[in-house]
Amino acid sequence: MIAYNGEFTLHSDLRCSDKSLTHRVFIAASIADGVSKIRNAVFSRDVMATVEALRKLGAVIDIEGDCATVHPVENVPQGEVTLDCGGSGTTARLLAGLAAGLGVRAVFVGDESLSRRPMTRVTEPLRQLGADIRATEGCLFRCDGGRLTGRHLHAQVDSAQVKSAVILAGLFAEGVTRYTERIPTRDHTERLLGALGADVHVDGLTVTVRASRPHAMDISLPGDPSAAAYPVALALLKGRSAKVDNVLVNPTRMGFYDVLRRSGADIRLSNEREVYGEKVADIQVFPSVLSPLRADAADVCNGIDEVPLLAVMALFVKGRHEFVGTAELRNKECDRIEAIRHIAEVAGQSAEYENGRLTITSNGTVPGVRRYKTFGDHRIAMCEAVLSVAAGSGCTDSAPFDVSHPAFTDVLGIRPLKLGLIGTHVKESVSPRMQTYLAMRAGVCCSYDTVTLPEDVTDDKLLEVIRSYDGLNVTMPFKVRVARLLGANVPAVNTVGKGIEPQSTDGYGLTHPLIRHGVHFEGKPLWIVGAGGAAESCVTELLKYGCKLQVINRTESRARALRNRYALPECVFEPAGVLTFLPECPFEQQLTLPDSCEFVFIAAYMGYSNIRAQAEARGITVVDGFEMNYSQGTVGFSLWTGTPLQDDYEGYVQYVKEFDYI
């Protein structure tokens, strides 16, 4: 989870090198005639998938900071190799052409999102060139070499990735390979290879390739126009000026900017120059009044990855907005058409799609305090970040920025506090949802992660994780261990952070909900069921209120140890309340609620509870762990952020009912 407020600072001196060009530069360097130097590279997850695959194909790639030295392939692997493309369609499709050209036996695999994306669009044209490449169960496809012969192929889909695969294969084919497009797609591959001396030429919509090898290079990569689109969009939505330096301005990548200019955006290019066949410039944007957005098929082709961002911007502009030729958005890391529909719906607007035409209708007002799904898609996550900041608040379920733009929050000048929860079973925790609510209500920008660690994690690793966060909740089985490692003055802790005393908020989490329900527990006899860290923390808290406590536990020795530690009596008769800290289990289910009981507290809030069932049947007050979790969370959030303690449980419950989209 990451929650946003309206705070941001745009910086022009922070940049993210062009991801599309980075993939291609590494591939070209891996088949060049010498050693290449690549500077100002972006090592996103997608790019690293390409780097690792090239290493398996025989390239030697040394990385230091944002620079790399590439020694080209000298001897291709003799046996079969597995190329893991992760979630990168660029890696899979471009390297299909390279593997076919090198004659390598390779199995291409990828993550779940990539496995859903179409691959016959690239394997079929390569087969027409003579490659032995085919779909196989359990992988994306496999390549078993083949003898490549140049042919004239015509594009069946408008895809720069398919075109690039054919061009790369054509560098190794006998004769002449030609590829003719229906409409122009991004042309980085042919520009780069041509600039490096390979026999690659462009005539209108046709690329001609002959067997050849590119020269080695020493290149400093320009910035990514896709990455620059996010600060440009935010500046326009918030009425600010901004400048992003050293950006690739290839005409086939400028669809986003062309659409905005026609809509009234004051976007200017300056300091224009050329780097290895590519146009580079500084992009400046000035406050502008936008009219409804219109994008034709060429605009969409030249800015396909930025269409979701244009859709987000359209939500802030009153009117009807149309984008033509968007069918390809359904074949990205997620179905981005469905993602856009979700965003529009959550923002109170509408998005419709039919036959490749995306239409958005907006009243121009986007509310804050909304939760958006990212669908695990890095570009959707970045779009929703821009939307949330522009709206003044909002949050998303995840933030996979590092897939393409590791410096995303730095470029936008967003500084989220890094918060989280550690434990062995935390994926289903409600804490991220609750911390989201607290953050948006307080206007705090923060992330909140769930971090699953094995029970036998080393002390050093546990401390390393703790120190990497601004604030952490600690759950079982680490409460006692973390207390010891951090030298806490309590036996178990659930809240730690930079600049705060490690502590347990269990006591407040217990007593505050009881007080909220009007339960009079002060000085009363009570039964405590359980003898773990949470039970002990609540014992220490209840003793402050003069309560008489009896500890009951399925393991009597643990109950006795807790009684002895706090000089508690063995028996307490006619308890006014029963407080259980056990999960669903046979021991809890066999307990009988005494007739004297006026209220029960149940720390668990999932699964069956016999104590709850008995209490509800008798009509006595029940307080459960959901309220405890909220009260605990408010204390931790206040300590981490320095904001006043919040007590708005009813608002939180309403928020969960209305806005729990995740």
Catalytic residues: 305
Q: Name, in order, each residue with C-beta under 8 angstroms of 367's C-beta and a sequence gap of 6 or more.
A: 347, 348, 391
Q: How buried is 461 (Cβ within 10 angstroms: 0-12 exposed, 13-18 middle, 19+ buried)?
A: exposed
User: Quick one: DSSP state of residue 17?
Assistant: B
The C-alpha R_g of the chain, in whole angstroms, comes to 30
Smallest Cα–Cα separation from 209: which of 267, 285, 148, 287?
148
480: left (phi > 0), else alpha (psi -120 to 50), else beta?
alpha
Amino acid symbol at 499: G
Q: How far is CA 8 from the centre of its chain?
A: 19
CB atoms within 10 A of CB 295: 28
443: left (phi > 0), else alpha (psi -120 to 50), else beta?
left
Smallest Cα–Cα separation from 529: which of 482, 481, 597?
597
Peptide bond into 477 cis (omega under 30): yes
Q: Count the alpha carbons within 13 Å of 517 in the hemisphere toward its beta carbon.
A: 18
402: left (phi > 0), else alpha (psi -120 to 50), else beta?
alpha
Q: Count the alpha carbons within 13 Å of 34 in the hemisphere toward its beta carbon.
A: 8
CA separation for the pair 505, 565 (Å, rounded): 20
Residue 620 has which token pair? 């006595």
Amino acid symbol at 509: G
Q: How far is CA 607 from the centre of its chain?
A: 30
